[in-house]
Structure 1
């Protein structure tokens, strides 16, 4: 059953970052069953750690492609309860799209005139309360906060895949991962980097 949350956003842990995937259409209703099947078949997820929380599977580092020199990946939960290790969280489905940002989220752009929203952090909560609408001060067009161009540093969706402990720009999903998600869910997907999500 879809979960309803105020203002279309979720609380993020700003000091920890993740790679997120969501349907390209933020209003689309993805099948959680189909998504989890893809993650299991590709071995991106392993054993369950909790509700909708999974260990990284054997092929996590194959389908989460890290740039440059291979980083030291922590795959097992550290002692003391730290969440600084690679694992996967699934969020949704939600009644409305949820927006997640992070400490490194860049200034989004108007999808029509490409003008940047320089003061977006100051206005975000107002946008979310105001019917989730954003008016461009340059060209005057009105867009949903979920469809302005967040330039892969924020993401909206009714269903979110969170690949945890990935720094912004450090890794991207493999072509096979994205193609398989599209085939099984019948819709294209996109990705972005943002902060860990805590769902209360």
Structure 2
């Protein structure tokens, strides 16, 4: 089971998926949607390529035009998930004079992303083990960026006196990041609060906890 906050792996080999023509992009999106739904409903091991073909409305042989294996589909689903997360990190302003405020905004966005992609995150948690070592390494390497960004913002907050010098950056980052990324485990779309409202409360609780540590 991988660390959902991310850990830097040793291997960095990156497998190359089958190339697709632009005119086939919509069909590929339907394949990814069907695979995601089936992996969520049945689990990776209990889903066959025939199941995916039937859900999309393709002949099984035609499915292999788009992808070589079920494992590659799983890899594509999880890699797309983490590529979306890269955009959140790219928008962080590390030059701000208010790193805790930036951390709060970052946590709001991660919480929303977690809630909106609960299906893929659930697949990640349960079925990551079915990827080969090279694929696992790439996914985990990409997840490391979340932890690195969190540690960097907390370190900047220490430099500016927004959090106590007693706070261990690594421990704090691991603790709060786990709370943020785990939103998908308990968020319910039909609940009393929207994912946006949950995200704002979640981020405020965590950041205020960091600011209060060692000061009481």
- Common fold, TM-score beyond 0.5? no
TM-score, normalized by length of structure 1?
0.27
TM-score, normalized by length of structure 2?
0.26
Which structure carries more helix by proportion?
2
Q: Which has the larger radius of gyration?
A: 2
